Structure 1
Amino acid sequence: MGRYILKRLITLVASLALASVVIFALIEVTPGDPASFMLGLNAAPETVAALRDQLGLDEALPLRYLQWVGGMLQGDFGLSYTYKVPVADLVADRLEISAPLALIALALSTALALPAGLWAASRRGRAGDALVMGATQLGIAVPNFWFAMLLVLVFAIKWQLFPAGGFPGWSDPLAALRALSLPALALALPQAAILARVLRSALIETLGQDYIRTARAKGLSRGAALTRHALRNALIPVLTILGMQFSFLLAGAIIIENVFYIPGLGRLIFQAITQRDLIVVESVVMILVFAVIAVTFLTDLAYALVDPRLRRPA
């Protein structure tokens, strides 16, 4: 197990190093000068030059890359060009919203998908299976921002059960959770549809294995064989999807956060791109890449816990 974890850690570090180079290179070669954008088209050249010097934009790219990476390793992500505050403070403020939103959406997705997938697999080829598969196909096909607008129309405007947008802060936890409920549900529904279909397919494949047939021949009911034996062995593809979903929910909620006017990481990235705040874009994207790679690492460890065969050296 120790060798397995060490190999995964080496892969994680190498992936982060490569990602940092790619992110820095891609963002730095994008057209447009942040200093000129911040000062406007009519700014004097000497004023633009002074601002470029103040922001460190005239330094060599390799030096700027090393300074950026060195600062991140110490927890210093630089100073925002636009807001004039540390990027770490901006990210911390937005993570207080985006991380709970992603976790709530993931919990909702799992809570919806697991019973749906189990129900469909246990009734393969029957009406219940067709109903679940039809609903999941609809959930995959319809964009989540459309779900978001529909939820606002029904639950916020017509029934007035939840707020239509905004975030009141965590000083009132109940109000904060109510504000995140509709965005989390809009994010969770398409992900639940994907997860339910993956779980159903994995369970059906597992139910055809010899050990399941042996268990059934010994008198175990189909439902008991499904929950006691098949579910555990069908979890590896499900864990893969769960890991990918959390990464997507954390990094890919830009549209939903803008629909509900939630000041999370998604809106921060959108605003930073429009304002050419390169240091914010680089740092936030790097943090999100780290989150994706870290979740993948934890998913690999979960694989080893579920399937002990993966711990054996090759």
Structure 2
Amino acid sequence: MRIPGLEDVIAARGHLADLAVRTPLLPFALDDGREVVLKPEILQPVGSFKIRCAGSAVMSRIARGNCSATFSTASAGNFAQGLAWACRQSGRGVTAYVPDTAATSKREALIRFGATLVDLPFADWWKMLVEDNDDPAFIHPVSDPDGLAGNATIGLEIAEDLPDAGTVLVPLGGGGLAVGVAAGLRAAGSKARVIICETGAGAPLTASLQAGHPVDVPFDSGTFITGMGGPSLLPSMWPALKEMISGTEVVPVAKVAEAVRLLAERGHMIAEGAGAASLAAAIQGSFDGPVVCVLSGGHLDTNHLIEILQGGVPRTKPPV
């Protein structure tokens, strides 16, 4: 995998000029007196950072003369939404292969953006992420080079807006956000450490770093935290993650629910589980500051939000 350099990131920024917004850095006070900084990608037009990687992937292909009438992807919802948004702006269609664990709010947004949905059992959907796909119209939601450059614009913005950032906390889905943010920081000359946030539902990077090679881990696909974690790492992402990431922080699912509640009550922002995982890690851990929490997405089912605000920890299905 080629890690995007500064020229790649600048090009991606140009491709995203009419699609994505430059999100601000917002101070947020923790109960113990510490202050962190939030990078709220939940403010993007599609509610997540995925507009950056998806938009960069689509617009880069169009710039190179790829005139596919329809693109496709395998996505739990957020990347497919970004892809559908970008394709709608350019008069193209999208077919989204989604896992049966995808949140209802994400499904509804995909339909609203005009995507065609194809449901798959989680295991079959996961295979689409780890197996090679030679369809030129298929855009991988994690490892696409143009997509990584789009994600890197987040790191570039952090470096420009907070040059002395000490730690950037990023949730781990497939790894594209983490590698992209780290690449953008590096390209801009930032010395900030990138720490990956994983949860008790499944922490494959933490286990793989401890083992020195990729390993499978138990994974609970029934938590309210969709779009992050999994039973294993994507093979294509392991070398880049090992090179670019400074460490990990594993937080309990209940602490992620707490972070969702705090963001709603004090930050007046709705984050999904993956989006709030970085704040949960900041609350639990101790890191060199200033600490930036990337809030990756805001697609949380309304019923889950209600349960969390009432002090609960929702599930999408009973534990096995």
Tell me the TM-score range normalised by the shorter chain.
under 0.3
Q: TM-score, normalised by structure 2?
A: 0.24
Larger RCO: Structure 1 or Structure 2 (Cα < 8 Å, ≥ 6 residues apart)? 1
Q: Tell me which protein shows more strand as a share of its residues.
A: 2
Q: TM-score, normalised by structure 1?
A: 0.24
Q: Which has the larger radius of gyration?
A: 1
